[in-house]
Amino acid sequence: MFINFRARLFLLFLALAGSVLVATLAAVSFVTSEQASRSVSRELNVSERVLSELLRVRGEQLQLAAQVLADDFGFREAVATNDRNTLISAMVNHGERIGTELMALYRPDGTELASTHPNAAAQLSQQPEGLLRIDAALFQLVTVPVKTPDLIAYATLGFRIDNALAGNLKSLTNADITFFDQASARIFASSLSLAQQQSFQQAMREQQLAGWLNAEDLAAQQAEFSQTNLLLSLEQSQAQQSYNELRAQYFVFGLAALLIALLLAYISARWVHRPLVALTQATQRIGQGDFSTQVQVQQQDEFGRLGEAFNQMCGAIAEREQQITYLAEHDVLTRLPNRVSFQQTFEQLLVDGKGSGYLAVLNLQKFRSINDRLGQQFGDRVLCEVAQQLSESFSDAHLIARLAGDEFVLVYTADGMPLEVLQTRLARFIEAPWLVGSTHYRLKFRCGMVRFPNQGDAVDVLIRRAELAARRAEQANDILAVYQSGSDEAYLRRLQILQALPEAIEQQHLQLHYQAKLDCQTGRLLGVEALVRWQHPQLGVVRPDEFIPLAEESGDILRVTRWVCQHALDQQQLWLEQALDLQVSVNLSAVDLQSDTLVQFLQEQLDQRGLAPQKLTLEVTESAIMADPDNAIQRLQQLRDRGIKVALDDFGTGYASLAQLKQLPLDKLKLDQSFIRHLRDDPKDQIIVQTTLAMAQQLNLQCVAEGVEDAQAWQLLRELGCEIVQGYYFSRPLAVHEFGAWVQTQAASFLLGDSESIMGDTCNASQD
């Protein structure tokens, strides 16, 4: 369960005060208990001394009383004359007068002259003083000599110790007094109650005196008086009453102190907690984005300084927050709203449905070349100048922002400006000369426009369609174009192809078709070109010229090429097992040529299948080589060193010069089909083909003509000395099973017939 700081602080103070109070109470209780025990012990010792002193004083008093009897002349004369009757009468009278119950007169040798207790003289002569048990009673004895003047006898008087005397002694000693004999479990005298005396006797008989004392809650001390046991006892509750009262008073005082401590703890906790509450609330407001409220802390201590520091921090955070928000929503260089800010604002405009309007995307052409030729600093100045001119020229625009490095966007509502006027202003802005610093510069723009919400109700869709319109303007060499509905279908298809291509490679959805390559002079089948095909369940047939460029852009072309090589070599190995020895050609892209693992990969694939590298031809285009000529030449040379054939594909359509051609490590040249398709009707194509064939012969390169679609073109190629041909006249690219059927039905006619029959058979085959 959550407890706030004030509650924890209050509990802390409470725990401290309570701990101190409990510790103090425990100490007081322990000290008072110890003091009470010592006090009881001292009181019993005092009582014992008082009792001893009382018995001594009483003995002295009895001694004086007995001396009076011994000094009586008549009594001495009776002793001397052994007048027994006179002795008895004198002793009885004197005993009644002083309250004694035992009197005995006996000779120094112990001979009894007279006694109130027969046969007591012998016992009295043995212990004439102190306490003595006689006939089951306890007496305090005093003995005086009887002289005439010689010692003629002893007179012993005994005063009985009973319950009455014990009670009197208790009033003087403040303790219960019990005279008892533990061996016989007899009580002679006691100030205890009758019930206590009975239970005491029972405890003596059971020898459980300590247990009886605990049961009766008595503190006791034993002593011996003339072979008589004495028990001094006090009630512990009575003895400790004053201490219990002291503890109770201290507990009341401690409780009052605890209440006062609670009140002080509450006040202190609230005093400490108040500025913390203010700081916490301020922190929560900061978390919610509110930096305006200041913390009000009136104290002049550390909390006050903390509040001042917190207020200063809030101000600094608010300032930085504004800067961060501004930087997050604006382009750092041009100070225009950036793409994120534009999308948020424009999306809210679309959600609110505030009418319709136009979105225009302006693309600064060849901006990268500006950076490369004039430096990035000059490029930044150009962007700042464009942003400033846009803000000044289109100050009435609803939104102006910078989307990317060289791309800006404007939004106008339809009510703000008609389309024709906006187009005119944009054209004037685009065609205006520019002064960047002190330099006059000609900037080229392409602008694409789209209408919302008619042509889109999502920000990304509208921006993409405006960019497509700008691209169409660039392709048409116009400065401005308006989006036409349906023109982004090709873009969406390319996007779908990009997304589906990795899965197609991984799930083996690609297929290889093979187009035959024949000896131009004899018509004999020499090899095949492996061409990749893709049939997608939703996109339908995806042509290579659609997905290959996209694969090169995305980097998936490496996986495509390796897939093609593996499956083409697998098929070549299968044909060899079927006694069909064919040269296999595979196309490489510029990305493949830049791969450092290409040579090792191809060598491993050939070694795994036991195929001769001379039976593999790699076809590369001039544009692929020109992407990185030095690296491409090095890679092709490595391939040729391992025996793999290299062919330059689409020769004549690229940008390779004759000087570069002589440096390329090539085995074959492939004439592009654009020169072959109209060969029979176009003399220029005939001259180009004838010249190329002659040049290839001089460079020891085989020449391959692709795109042969009629017999006349084939015949001309034969006459011009071409070595290898391929085209739809002979066979279109076929799947494996179709190619096998084509080989079985058509190979015999190429091998057995003359040129006329070959031409006729192949013509029929192409029609089939």
Q: How do 510-519 and 724-726 pair as beta strands?
A: antiparallel
Picking from 39, 22, 351, the residue whose alpha carbon sits closest to that of residue 175 is 39
Structure tokens at 324: 């961060």
User: According to the model, what pLDDT value does residue 253 have?
Assistant: 77
Distance CA 73, CA 38 (A): 55
pLDDT above 50: residue 755: no
The radius of gyration of the chain from alpha carbons, rounded to an integer in Å, stands at 66
Distance CA 188, CA 158 (A): 15
How do residues 428-481 score in pLDDT, each as one tens digit?
888 887 777 667 777 888 899 988 888 888 888 888 888 888 888 887 888 888
pLDDT above 50: residue 762: no
pLDDT above 90: residue 369: no
Structure tokens at 40: 């009881």
**E strands in 236-365:** 357-364
Residues 79, 152: contact at Cβ < 8 Å?
yes
Question: Looking at residue 183, what DSSP letter applies?
Answer: T
Q: Give 338's contacts (C-beta < 8 A, 6+ positions apart).
A: 329, 330, 331, 401, 402
Average pLDDT across the chain, whole number: 80
| Residue 286 φ then ψ, to 5° | -65, -40
Higher pLDDT, 138 or 237: 138
* Mean pLDDT along residues 725-752: 82
Q: How do 102-106 and 616-621 pair as beta strands?
A: unpaired
User: According to the model, what pLDDT value does residue 753 have?
Assistant: 44
| Residue 652 φ then ψ, to 5° | 105, -10
pLDDT above 50: residue 754: no
Picking from 74, 112, 120, the residue whose alpha carbon sits closest to that of residue 93 is 74
Lowest mean pLDDT among 294-308, 474-488, 699-713: 294-308
Percentage of the residues of the chain whose pLDDT score is greater than 90: 18
Higher pLDDT, 511 or 131: 511
Structure tokens at 283: 């922190």
Picking from 36, 160, 30, the residue whose alpha carbon sits closest to that of residue 98 is 160
* Mean pLDDT along residues 318-337: 81
Residues 534, 509: contact at Cβ < 8 Å?
yes
* Mean pLDDT along residues 297-308: 62
User: According to the model, what pLDDT value does residue 656 have?
Assistant: 53
Is the bond preceding 537 in cis, omega lying within 30 degrees of 0? no
How do residues 120-159 score in pLDDT, each as one tens digit?
776 777 777 777 777 778 887 888 888 877 788 888 888 8
Is the bond preceding 145 in cis, omega lying within 30 degrees of 0? no
Band (pLDDT 50/70/90 cuts) for residue 239 is: low
Structure tokens at 15: 């725990």
- Strand, helix or coil at 416? coil
Residue 678 host element (H or E):
none
Question: Looking at residue 579, what DSSP letter applies?
Answer: T
* Mean pLDDT along residues 184-192: 83
How do residues 636-694 score in pLDDT, each as one tens digit?
999 999 999 999 987 866 555 566 677 889 999 998 888 898 888 888 989 989 998 99
pLDDT above 80: residue 718: yes
How do residues 22-60 score in pLDDT, each as one tens digit?
777 777 777 777 666 777 777 777 777 777 777 777 777
Most confident of 104-108, 301-305, 609-613: 609-613
Distance CA 237, CA 251 (A): 18
